[in-house]
Amino acid sequence: MAQNTSAPREVIMPHRKLPLDIPDRVAPTEFFNSPCNLRHLARENGLLRNPMGFLLYRKAIGHSNLFDTSIIFDTSQRVLDPMGRPVRRDQLTREENIVFSRMTKVVLQYMLEKYPDPVKHLVFCGEASLDATWPLNKPGVPSIRMIHNHFMVFDNNLLASARLAAHDDPNLTDSGHNGLFLDYLSDVYLRFFKVLDLEVLRPLTSDSGRLKITGYPQGLPSWEIMGGVDALEDGRFWKEYDLVLRGFLDFYRAFFSLVASEDTRVPANAAYPDQIENILLYSDDFHKAARMLRLQVIEDPAFANEIRWQPAYKQLIYRDDDGRLIVTISQNSVGNAITELLGIVVKRVADDDAYARAEPDIVRQLLEARNRLIQYNLGEPINAPCWPNGVFVAADRG
């Protein structure tokens, strides 16, 4: 029976069992980030690769069985240290960033074309990044620790009928960090972002882009993409999308420097040094929140172990209930997926039969999206076992 309450949802998502075994004494995230596994991923689920190193692939254990794919900057074969691989867009070269933005645009446009009704479907894509100091064998580390963009579509009827997520789910609460930002930093956070010099992105009033079903996102700076899907063709949008990230990095570094050592110096590489000085460092609320977090780190070793001292973020482009395309960004203290920024907790379960029923349509769409990328000279196809000649072939389950 459908739930009428506006609240986060827990969605059960079946997937096929992984056709590989994790070696003994190796943590899953350590294995998933190994060059061996990433080579296997490209061979078994790869859709397209280009000379820049970007890989489009089918998510082996995905979040949605309607549409679900990802683009990663696959440096695994040339950068063997998984902690030394790029994890944020600001670590890309200008040329790499243009290609990544174009690939993102093509796949997002495909989803919006195939799922045009915001009442029926939630469409979004985004990055969930983390800092290079987070150990690979810690909970919450993404299964592939490289720059990645995740593209998903959910049926709103599925979301509306899903069970309500636990109010204290650690992914939704960000181990208390999200509450800290929401309760004590929201005003200064929003004021800091208002100073960005934007033309294509228009700031939204707080919470005006919330989804009716989940009530998320909450208390985050958000911007409407003026011109909608057509604006994705304008390079100014992608530059402003990066400005939002650079502003977030400034905020994060300034705050956690204050928490770590009560350091009030403006970072030498800050994109907005004047705003850090005038808006953040002169804000009593900013210092109050930093003190609260600092005291908790000193007293609680378990909490201290969860802190990410270097920038970790989630940045999304999503379509709201009114059909607007919206950009939002948040801290990422635990490693929760971008779905949880929109109030969707995905519980993935191994179920070969259920996944097999959805797989042909998923793959058909992924191949269609791949063909568009090929047409725009954004990569060459990969012939995986389930699409050896660009057509879906069911895997032998015997």
Q: What is the pLDDT along the chain (398 residues), one digit of tens a residue?
A: 345 789 999 999 999 887 778 888 888 778 888 888 889 889 999 999 999 999 999 998 889 999 999 999 999 999 988 888 888 899 999 999 999 999 999 999 999 999 999 999 999 999 987 665 566 666 556 567 888 899 999 999 999 999 999 877 877 765 555 566 667 787 888 889 888 889 999 999 877 899 999 999 887 889 999 999 999 999 999 999 999 999 999 998 999 999 999 999 998 889 999 999 999 999 999 999 999 989 999 999 988 877 778 888 889 999 999 999 999 998 775 556 789 889 999 998 989 999 999 999 999 999 999 999 999 999 999 999 999 999 999 877 55
The CA R_g of the chain, rounded to the nearest whole Å, is 21
Residue 167: C-alpha distances to residues 8, 174, 357 (Å): 8, 12, 32
Q: Check whether the bond before 116 is cis (ω within 30° of 0).
A: no
Closest C-alpha among 314, 358, 321 to residue 339: 314
Q: How far, in Å, CA of 280 to CA of 330, rounded? A: 17
The number of residues making up the chain comes to 398
**Cα 395 vs. chain centroid, distance in angstroms?**
29
From the number of C-beta atoms within 10 Å of its C-beta (0-12, 13-18, 19+), residue 54 rates as: buried
Percent of the chain with pLDDT over 70: 91
Residue 357 zone, left/alpha/beta (φ > 0; ψ -120 to 50; rest):
alpha
Exposure string for 347-359, b = 16+ CB within 10 A, e = fewer: eeeeeeebbeebb
Q: How far, in Å, CA of 54 to CA of 75, rounded? A: 9
Adjacent-strand bridge partners of 223: 203, 327
Say if residues 130 and 165 touch (Cβ distance below 8 Å): no
Helix residue ranges, H only, 174-223: 177-180, 186-194
Q: How far, in Å, CA of 94 to CA of 160, rounded? A: 41
**Residue 281 in tokens:** 């460092």
The DSSP H or E segment spanning 12 is strand 9-15
pLDDT in tens, 17-39: 877 788 888 887 788 888 888 89
From the number of C-beta atoms within 10 Å of its C-beta (0-12, 13-18, 19+), residue 246 rates as: middle
CA dihedral 124, 366, 379, 226 (to 10 degrees): -30
Give the count of beta carbons closer than 10 Å to the beta carbon of residue 335: 21
At residue 255, the pLDDT reads: 93
Q: How far, in Å, CA of 9 to CA of 92, rounded? A: 35
Domains in the chain: boundaries: 9-381
- Tokens 């799922």 correspond to 115
At residue 132, the pLDDT reads: 59
Give the count of beta carbons closer than 10 Å to the beta carbon of residue 171: 21
**Cα 358 vs. chain centroid, distance in angstroms?**
23
Q: How far, in Å, CA of 228 to CA of 131, rounded? A: 32
Write down the pTM of the prediction.
0.92
Residue 2: C-alpha distances to residues 9, 12, 339, 344 (Å): 11, 15, 20, 16
